Structure 1
Amino acid sequence: MNKIVALDIGGVCLNLRFELCREYLGGAGAEEVPTQLLAASDQYERGLLSEKDWLEIFTSVTEGRFTEDELRHAWNLIIGDAISGMPELVNDIVNAGFRAIFFSDTSELHLMHIYRNLPFAHLVSGGIYSFKVGSKKPEDKMYESFQEEYGRPYLYTDDKEENVAAGIKHGWNSRKFVSAAELRKELASIF
C-alpha cells in the first residue's frame, strides 16, 4: 500500500474567498472579472505565463489603479483560512505514518502564500502543482505527473466532481471532499 493521501488545496485544505479579491479591486460580482484576466490567470496557473507578464495584464485590466504589490495582495486575498478540522486531520494522517501531498491547480504566488499562512502546511511533504506541470486537473498530465513522482495515492480527495472522476479513471481511490469529518471516516482504517 502506498502511504500517501493526495489533497487538493482550495476547497479541501482551505477556503477560497474570490469575493475579497473582487471587493479589494472595487467589483462585486464574478461577471465583473474581465475575460482577459481570467484567461491570463489560467495561463499563469499553468506556468505558461510569467508572474511579470501576468501582472502586466492584471495592471492593464485594472487600468493602472494598483501597484504590483497591491495586485499581489488582492490575488492572495483569495486564499482563506484552513477548513475546519483539516489541521487536526492532516496531523493525524502524518502521525499514522502516511504522507500528505498537495495536488493542486495553483500559481507560485498562491503557493508561497499558502506555505506562509496555512497552519499545517509544514506537515505536507510535497506536491504536484499545475504551474510546474503545465496542465490543470482534470487533464491526464496532472494525474500522470503525480503517479510518476509519488505513485498511486492511498486516497485522493478533491471538492470538484470532475477531478474526482479523473482520479477514478486513473485507478485512484478518489472521494469528493465534503468535510474534514467525512474525510476522517474515509481514513478511519489508518488511525
Structure 2
Amino acid sequence: MIKNIIFDFGDVFINLDKEATYKELAKLGVTEISEEMMHQYFQYEMGLISTNEFIEFFFNKFKIPKEDLVFAWNAILLDFPKHRFDFLKELAKSNQYRLFLLSNTNDLHISWIQNDWGMELYSEFKNCFEQFYLSHEINFRKPNTDIFEFVLSENNLQASETYFIDDTRENTNAAQQLGIQVWNNCPQTEDIVDLLKRKEFAK
C-alpha cells in the first residue's frame, strides 16, 4: 500500500525545454559540452561550488558575461500550469499520503523560479510538501542511490510503501533498485494530475 509520494519538480510540475540552454550556449559560442563542464555542473547541482564559482568557470573558459550565462542557464525553465498546482493542493489537503519533493535543482534555477512566481506562490507550493529537497541544499543528486537512501532514512519511510515520479528513466531506475515503486512519466503524453488514476493507487 502506498503511503508516501516523492515528486520530481521539472517536467512533473513545471514545464521544461531541455534543449534551450544548449541552444543559448551555442549562440554564445559554446557548441560542445565537455566532461569538465559536466563535472562543474554536477558539483554546482550538489551545492559543492557556489553560483559565483560556477559563473567564473564559464567566464574564465569562454569569456561569457555573467548576464548572458544566467539567461542561457535559465532558458530551460518554462511555465507552471495552474491545473497541476490545483491538483497538488487538493492532494495535500486530503492528507492521504505523505508528500515529498526531490529535485536536482541548482541555486540559479530556484532563484529564477522564486522571482518568476513570486515568493507567495513559491511558499504555497513548498508548503504542500512535508519535506522539500533540492539537490544543491542537501549535497546529493539523482540518479545516485544515496539521495533516495537519504530521503527514506530521514523520514523513516519504507521503500515498498513509497512511490516516486520522475521524467528521467535513469532516476526512476535508481529508485526502483531500492524497492521504491516508480512512475517514469512522459511529459509529452502524461500529466501528474492523472496520478491517482494509475493502477498502483487502485483501492
Q: Same fold (TM over 0.5)?
A: yes
Is 2:5–2:163's contact at 8 Å kept on the other side of the alignment?
Answer: yes
2:185 aligns with 177
1:10 partnered with 2:7:
no
Q: Please give the alpha-carbon distance, in whole angstroms, between the structure 1 residues aligned to 2:115 and 2:180.
A: 30
Match of 1:47 in 2: 47
Deviation digits for residues 3-47 of structure 1, max 9, x if unmatched? 532111122122222443344445399x82431433311210022
Alignment TM-score, normalising by the size of structure 2: 0.75
Q: Which moved more, 1:103-112 or 1:16-25?
A: 16-25
Does the Cα contact within 8 Å between 1:128 and 1:142 map onto a contact in 2? Answer: no
1:73-152 to structure 2, matched below 5 A, reads 73-82=71-80, 85-97=83-95, 98-117=97-116, 121-125=125-129, 126-152=131-157
Q: Summarize the alignment of residues 11-30 of structure 1 with structure 2, pairs less than 5 Å apart.
A: 11-27=11-27
Structure 2 contact 2–201 (Cα < 8 Å) conserved:
no
Using the TM superposition, give the Cα deviation of residue 50 of structure 1 relative to its aligned residue in structure 2, in angstroms.
1.7
What letter matches 2:125 in structure 1? A
Structure 1 vs Structure 2 CA RMSD: 3.0
Q: Secondary structure at the match of 1:91?
A: helix
- Identity over aligned residues, as a percent? 23
Task: Deviation per CA, 1:96-118: give whole Å up to 9, x if none.
Answer: 11443211112122123334445
The answer to whether the 8 Å contact 2:2/2:163 transfers is no
Counterpart contact for 2:126–2:132, Cα < 8 Å:
no
Q: Which runs of 5+ in 1 are unaligned?
A: none
Is the aligned partner of 1:160 residue 2:168? Answer: yes
Alpha-carbon distance in 2 for matches of 1:54, 1:143: 26
Gaps of 5+ in 2: none
Tell me the alpha carbon deviations over residues 76-124 of structure 1, each in whole angstroms, 9 at most, x when there is no partner.
2222112574222212211211443211112122123334445562443
Q: In the aligned structure 1, how far is the partner of 2:196 from the partner of 2:81?
A: 13
State the TM-score, normalizing by the size of structure 1: 0.79
Q: Measure the CA separation in 2 of the matches of 1:121 and 1:84.
A: 11
Q: Is the 8 A contact 1:7 1:103 kept in 2?
A: yes
Superimposed CA distance per residue, residues 133-164 of structure 1 (whole angstroms, 9 cap, x where no aligned partner): 33321212101111122233642111122221
Distance, in Å, in 1 between the alignment partners of 2:192 and 2:82 is: 7
